[in-house]
Chains A and B, each alone.
Chain A
Amino acid sequence: MVYPVAEQQAGAAGYPAAEAFEPGAGLVWSRISSRYPWHRRIAALVRAIPVAAVGAFLLWRGGGTLAALLWVVGVLAVLVVSWVAVEIAYRSYGYAERGDDLIVTSGVFVRRLIVVPYGRMQFVDVTAGLLERWMGLSTVRLHTAAAATDAVIPGLPAAEAALLRDRLARKGEERSMGL
């Protein structure tokens, strides 16, 4: 049976452009931990310090104090920008468990919204780096047979991540089917 074109247009009427990235159906986004931006900031700082130090040292040896100073200022500027950007990125993350699928939204530069049916999940990864572990955070990653799916929820509190993984795995098993 072929659906009339009108059905899609009627559907469009139900979604004002402003709500295109809302979970819909009265749901609210589950947000990630507020420690996440701090994790990103510390990670940026950890990377920025050696970059600033080594670069400044090399420039100071080669050119002069002014170049070294400019280098440090440049690194600081990047750090400040990322300080703010991380906050925006943090606010862009959200996930919601619906009846048959998980929806995840993310992205500042490119906005994304991914709908992953539970039955299509091949496996769910929970990873935590050194810094993440120290801050009690985990990253949940969903894998389907499509490489493009790439649904990642970073910065979840470790306990919540484990619970989410178990819930997803259970729902996935209930609805699992081949390819």
Chain B
Amino acid sequence: MPPHGMPQPGYGVPPGYPPQRAYGPPQMYPGPVYPAPGYRYVPPAPPPPVRFSVGTHRVHWATAPLRAFTIMIVYFVLLGFPLLMTRTSDGAAVSFSPVVLLRFLIVSLVVGAGAVAAGLWGWLGLRFRIEGDDLVVENGLLRRRVRRIPLSRIQAIDVVRPLVTRVFSLAEVRVELAGGEQSEIPFRYLGRRAAGDLRAELLARAAGLPGHTPEAPERPVYRVPFGTLLGGLVLRLPVIATFLLMIFSLVFLIAFRELAMLAVALPALLGLIRAVIAPMVMYANFTVAVSPDGVRLRYGLLETRMQTVPPGRVQAVSVVEPSIWRGPGWARLDVTVAGYAGERQALSSTLLPAAPRAVVAQLVALVFPGTNFDAVPLLPASQRGMTVDRADGAGTDDVIFVARHGWLCRRTDIIAHARAQSVRLTVNPVQRLLGLATVHVDAPPGLVQVAAADRDLGEARAIVESTALRARSARAASGDTAHWAARQNQAR
């Protein structure tokens, strides 16, 4: 136990941060007494945070009207608007004759009542509470479905605010669990403050701290400037090639009045929108911060997201350096988190969309503490290699395994030994002729798959054995990742 006043690493209230607040009724203001007898002024205190660990909770009541409203919009587009149309001699036109209006009103009222009922039903049906180490989610009014989720299985918590709900200051909390189907628990929607409280509470509980621990303070690491993001998205060979193709086809289209060139120009334009505009909107205002309860990301122009990845949940990362980016020294950081499956994996697998390489290296060091992947000596792959995606080199230290490959776009894949699931050695027919092999260090499904290709066969087997050995000692040292804060406190 260090003497008091010493800065303590890890979780807990750090020096300089206000101590934990005691919860109770709002304090009466003792100041100047107002003239009216018996009247005491109560200053407008911020509402006390919702304590989710006590009692059963529901999502925000505004969810019900919001859902009803959504149903009504869908109804109007699909059925309501056609109801307003009447057939005329040359097609259909919108007309407001009494008969049509009456018909429309009756149908709308019925659907509206149904929509309100559905909204209420959904709102009343979803209840959740925290019981000990479990998050309990109850669904349904008549047929009740209860899910009990151990908090230690939480892989990440996202707070998402789609554009529509931002107007009403609502937010969605998504709890990501490891493994398989329905591994995501969405809470649609909570009040903005309540969402933050729930997130903090779940993370604190998962870390093994009492539920009313205040939100862990965070330290900003990097904010991606607009220029870097735009430049990074544009300065990629495929993007530039597509752009040139589009310009070329447009010139051809105008010069020779050849409309068929639209078949080239339009897909190229769509591709550009997908590759540049969409990520631009999605990753705008990208901010990375670290706090004891994990890495926090905030981003989004229309739909804002806040992701928290608790420590030890990042399985593998990949530093991606497209050819042109090496000029200004930029890199992208992709990541595999066990919680995100399928589509969400692709959506939330970027830890930094574009940043100077030094920042990326710093973030990797935060994700895998005590490492510097640039300092890991890489053994060059065999010269005889025939792999298209040119293998560059691979190396390892006590904590991480690093493999670099790529011809134009260079990727450096990094996995922590403690996170490796299995080690594989594969030899395909071409490699067998050349006496080479590939060593895979398997991570859970995701963008990042670590493999050292084109090693000499004997060396490859030696790498397999040494990696297995290191993984064993790393696992023994790191132990289970649940209740990380509580164990850190015990260790102290």
Contact = CB atoms under 8 A, between A and B. Distances in A.
Say if A and B assemble together. yes
Interface of A: 1-5, 7-9, 11-17, 19-21, 24, 100-101, 107, 109-117, 119-120, 122, 144-149, 151, 177-179
Contacts of A9: 379, 459
Interface in B7-46: none
Interface in B169-203: 178-179
Contact of B179 (A1, A100, A107, A145): A145
A17 B457 CA distance: 5
Contacts of B424: 112-115, 148-149
A177 B468 contact: no
B426 interface: yes
Nearest to A2: B397
B339 to A, nearest CB: 9
Interface residues of B, number: 55
Interface stretch (B211-219, B296-304, B319-327, B439-447): B439-447
B422 to A, nearest CB: 4
Contact of A149 (B421, B459, B475): B421
Given A112-B425, A177-B479, 14 more contacts: A1-B397, A8-B459, A11-B463, A11-B466, A17-B456, A19-B458, A20-B458, A100-B472, A101-B468, A113-B464, A115-B422, A146-B443, A148-B449, A179-B481
B427 interface: yes
B437 interface: yes
B152 A117 contact: no
A72 to B, nearest CB: 31
Interface of B: 152-153, 155, 178-179, 313, 315, 338, 375-377, 379, 395-398, 419-429, 432, 435, 437, 440, 442-445, 449, 456-466, 468, 471-472, 475, 479-482
A177 B477 CA distance: 12
A143 to B, nearest CB: 10
A13 B462 CA distance: 8
Nearest to A120: B421
A179 B419 contact: yes
Given A110-B427, A113-B464, A178-B481, A2 B459 contact: no
30 contacts: A2-B376, A8-B379, A8-B466, A9-B379, A9-B459, A11-B459, A11-B466, A15-B461, A15-B465, A20-B458, A21-B461, A101-B468, A110-B426, A110-B428, A113-B424, A113-B425, A113-B426, A115-B464, A116-B421, A117-B422, A117-B471, A120-B420, A120-B422, A144-B422, A145-B444, A148-B422, A148-B424, A178-B482, A179-B313, A179-B419
B480 A20 contact: no
B468 A117 contact: yes
B379 A144 contact: no
A115 B426 contact: no
B472 A110 contact: no
